[in-house]
Amino acid sequence: MDIEWREQRRQELLEIRSASPAKLVALYKHVHGLDEFKPLPETLTIEAVIEAILDREGITRLSGPDTTNN
């Protein structure tokens, strides 16, 4: 995975967290397909949320866009 991309994206996510923690949570729920109305586990840390988003976006980034529906 591109380390430079990951660090840049991490900074973007930290800025989102500072500006609007709810947006960061919504992004986490979206990338994992979770119900937007259910709470996250109490033990989940912000760092874990950011890492999970980075991991999922990194996988998507490496695999490229889905072209199966064309």
Looking at residue 10, its pLDDT comes to 96
How far is it, in rounded angstroms, from Cα 25 to Cα 40?
A: 8
The more confident residue out of 30 and 66 is 30
How far is it, in rounded angstroms, from Cα 28 to Cα 40?
A: 10
**What is the per-residue pLDDT across 5-53, written as a single tens digit (0 to 9) for each?**
999 999 999 999 999 999 999 999 998 899 999 999 899 999 999 999 9
**pLDDT confidence of 66, banded at 50, 70, 90?**
low
Looking at residue 62, its pLDDT comes to 75
The pTM of the full predicted model, rounded to 2 decimals, is: 0.80
